[in-house]
A and B are shown apart, each in its own frame.
Chain A
Amino acid sequence: DAKTTQPPSMDCAEGRAANLPCNHSTISGNEYVYWYRQIHSQGPQYIIHGLKNNETNEMASLIITEDRKSSTLILPHATLRDTAVYYCIVRVIATGTASKLTFGTGTRLQVTL
């Protein structure tokens, strides 16, 4: 699976959009981009995933560049409860097999008043 690079930490004011970048310059054509987050001392939570098109769900939006070498997770209106470590992961999806995920150290997002 391709490696990812994320800034170690970011701050965001409550109510503002949080834009979390991820670089995955060695991504291959059949690898998806996943985002998970981990609130302190809890298990990680799935947020969103995508291949090449931009994706949006009730939690966030995922913007993937045209060359797929980087992506941005957008939390449109960050709240204090969004304070967490955010992990960007790229991997191949193979039906019929377990989905091994490789977690890096992620970005620690601190949302402040």
Chain B
Amino acid sequence: DGGITQSPKYLFRKEGQNVTLSCEQNLNHDAMYWYRQDPGQGLRLIYYSQIVNDFQKGDIAEGYSVSREKKESFPLTVTSAQKNPTAFYLCASSIRQGSYNEQFFGPGTRLTVL
């Protein structure tokens, strides 16, 4: 089955530690995205990538880093510089070109920093 996988579903880290969230897709999509969601809020864009080896900052990139070495993978690192890292993190992908760019979302990773 084609889709997006994120692992793990729940992640706990101590304050001050960097943590990397995994996102893999087998939809052959060019574009991939990372969003953050806080309780009762909408999604906010962290980073996005239109093609391998290229990525751009979204609206709240500070304290985060990404890489796009393979088309299928877009890992997100939450660094110790991120002041409020506890949140629900969602990865998505889309066809880069087309009449509409529907985004397909993964199941999310809930990160809790203790």
Residues of A within 8 A of B (CB): 32, 36, 41-46, 49, 87, 93, 95-106
Query: Which residues from 47 to 88 on chain B have a C-beta closer than 8 Å to any C-beta of chain A?
Result: 48-50, 56, 58, 88
Tell me which residues across on chain B come within 8 A of A36, comparing CB atoms.
103
- Judging by beta carbons under 8 Å apart, are A98 and B40 in contact? no
Tell me which residues across on chain B come within 8 A of A41, comparing CB atoms.
88, 108, 110
Cα distance A106–B43 in the bound complex, in angstroms? 10
- Judging by beta carbons under 8 Å apart, are A98 and B49 in contact? yes
Residues of B within 8 A of A (CB): 4, 31, 33, 35, 40-45, 48-50, 56, 58, 88, 90, 92, 94, 96-108, 110
- Judging by beta carbons under 8 Å apart, are B103 and A101 in contact? yes
Cα distance A98–B43 in the bound complex, in angstroms? 16
Q: Is the interface of A mostly helix, strand, loop or mixed?
A: loop
Q: A45-B105, A101-B43, A101-B45 are in contact. List 20 more A-B contacts (CB 8 A).
A: A36-B103, A41-B110, A43-B92, A43-B105, A43-B106, A44-B103, A44-B105, A46-B103, A87-B42, A95-B97, A96-B97, A98-B49, A98-B96, A99-B94, A99-B101, A99-B103, A103-B35, A104-B42, A105-B41, A105-B42
Cα distance A42–B43 in the bound complex, in angstroms? 12
- Judging by beta carbons under 8 Å apart, are A96 and B99 in contact? no
- In the assembled complex, 18 residue pairs joining A and B whose CB atoms fall closer than 8 Å, in A order, are A32-B100, A43-B90, A43-B106, A44-B90, A44-B92, A44-B103, A46-B102, A46-B103, A95-B97, A95-B99, A96-B96, A98-B31, A98-B49, A99-B31, A101-B43, A101-B103, A103-B35, A105-B42
